[in-house]
Amino acid sequence: MGELIQKYPITSIGMAIPGIINPSTGEVSGLSAIADREQVNFKTSFEVTFQVPVFFENDANCAAIGEVVHGAGKGFQDIAFFIIGTGLGGAIFIDRKLHRGVNSLGGEMGSMVYQKPNLDGWSNVSTKTGMFALEQFYENLSQVKKTGFEIYQAYETEKNAKAAIDWQISKIAEVILNTAYVIDPELVLLGGGVSQNPLFLQLLEDKLKTINHQIGMEVLFKIKACEFTNDANLIGAAALATL
């Protein structure tokens, strides 16, 4: 880090961090990959050490901000962002501003709750929509382990792969539509590796139309895949200084 600051005219540092972020204080809470998050304040320690402003944000929000500032969200005002990875994360932009809410939980669509079958307690939709859920669903059907990528490759040729994907697509469509009927977005932006798969996008668009048709509505928002993939969090972190 010190070498980079010597080498380049660095004006700020942006950080993408898992967990619930308070950008003002530098506190990280909630589920996070950082084990000792309560003992470390990146904002304070980095600003003291490197003498440049430090901005930081939840990693899913960073990916969303990168897209809104520089990518597929340019030109749109109200945006619902969904990132499908192991689970499902999200972010909401109103008038191009990230909506955090009072406790930085705004846009946490993956934390929406659902009641398990047979009234067997409650869980969040992230556990039913991400690639881990797809892989589990497929394994339960076929007694064979496959990666999400492999399952999507088998959609046209394997009954269980098609069933698992159709189930995942339905669950994601539910979350998108429920979110859309709260914020009425102009754009639904989809991130995560699977969003780059044309089959995923086509199935999802078809499912959204089917569900809406059944409830007497129509899809009024645009759907786009994110432009940035592996570097999305970095591009978003760098953009934090421009907000």
The nearer residue to other proteins, 18 or 193, going by C-beta atoms, is 18
The amino acid sitting at 47 is E
DSSP sequence for 51-115:
-S-EEEEEHHHHHHHHHHHHSTTTT-SSEEEEEESSSEEEEEEETTEE---TTS-TT-GGG-EEE
Q: Specify the residue, 13 or 79, whose C-beta has the smaller distance to other proteins.
A: 13
Neighbouring-strand partners of residue 82? 90, 190
Among the listed residues 22, 30, 47, 69, the single contact to other proteins using CB under 8 A: 69
Report the residue number, 46 or 137, with the smaller CB distance to other proteins.
46
The answer to whether residue 36 forms part of the interface with other proteins (CB under 8 A) is yes
Q: How far apart are alpha carbons 20 and 29 in whole angstroms?
A: 5
- Does position 98 interact with other proteins (CB under 8 A)? The reply is no
Per CB under 8 A, 26 contacts other proteins: no
Contact window for other proteins (CB under 8 A) among 89-97, 121-129, 159-167, 227-235: 227-235
Kindly report the number of other CB atoms within 10 A of residue 127's CB atom. Answer: 16
* Residue 89 dihedral angles phi and psi, to the nearest 5°: -120, 175
Please identify, using beta-carbon distances, which residue of 151 and 238 lies nearer to other proteins: 238
Which residues of this chain interact with other proteins, rule CB under 8 A? 1, 4-5, 7-18, 33-36, 40, 42, 59, 62, 69-70, 228, 231, 233-235, 237-239, 241-242
